[in-house]
């Protein structure tokens, strides 16, 4: 009798969690986000962090309660500027794009944790004005990106999303003299149709 009661309770818990997860198994969603794109540079001479503000949009298709596919596009909205007497330099993000798979673990009917993995591309611009030398350069870094985050459903259609991603490092053209770690932290809202 006790085994039957325990089995019934366990099965009821499992099916109620699955039913809660199915509440948000809907299909297409759109969203917007704001975040900080951070590049940590390390060399034998100095270490520095360059931070950019980015704003973007995303569109996704929730295939099941546990899996979604998502496309993202963002632009730089806050540049990093350095002034030193007559010298100046400006670093900026032109754009960031990504195609991601998103695996979710619903924890109740409103909250879920998720992990992401996919392909991303970021275009950086660098402009400098040094006495006797003025110019600009741009570079595009692409490759595998991955991250994790949390999703909180404010209503059946609207959810708050916070996420942290690791992006491709900057290509080192100086044969190992400079190392970089690149990350993106965002907060946004998604609306499910």
pTM for the whole thing?
Answer: 0.77
β-bridge pairing 28-43 and 133-153: unpaired
Of 40-49, 56-65, 71-80, the poorest mean pLDDT is in 40-49
The confidence score (pLDDT) of residue 78 equals 87
Q: Output the DSSP codes for 27-54.
A: -EEEEEEEEEEEEEEEESS-EEEEEEEE
Of 104, 113, 99, nearest in space to 64 by CA: 104
Q: Which 8-state DSSP code applies to residue 109?
A: T
Q: Is the pLDDT of residue 156 over 50?
A: yes
């Amino acid at each position: 009798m006790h085994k039957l009661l325990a089995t019934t309770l366990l099965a009821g818990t499992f099916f109620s969690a699955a039913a809660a997860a199915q509440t948000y198994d809907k299909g297409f969603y759109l969203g917007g986000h704001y975040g900080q794109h951070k590049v940590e540079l390390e060399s034998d001479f100095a270490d520095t962090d360059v931070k950019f503000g980015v704003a973007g949009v995303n569109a996704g298709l929730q295939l099941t309660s546990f899996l979604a596919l998502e496309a993202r596009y963002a632009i730089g909205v806050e540049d990093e500027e350095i002034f030193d007497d007559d010298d100046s330099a400006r670093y900026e993000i032109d754009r960031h794009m990504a195609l991601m798979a998103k695996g979710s673990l619903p924890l109740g009917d409103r909250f879920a944790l998720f992990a992401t993995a996919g392909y991303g591309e970021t275009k950086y611009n660098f402009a400098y004005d040094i006495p006797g030398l003025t110019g600009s350069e741009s570079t595009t870094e692409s490759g595998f990106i991955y991250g994790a985050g949390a999703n909180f459903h404010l209503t059946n259609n609207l959810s708050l999303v916070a996420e942290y991603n690791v992006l491709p490092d900057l290509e080192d053209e100086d044969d190992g003299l400079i190392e970089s770690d690149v990350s993106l932290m965002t907060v946004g809202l998604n609306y499910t149709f």
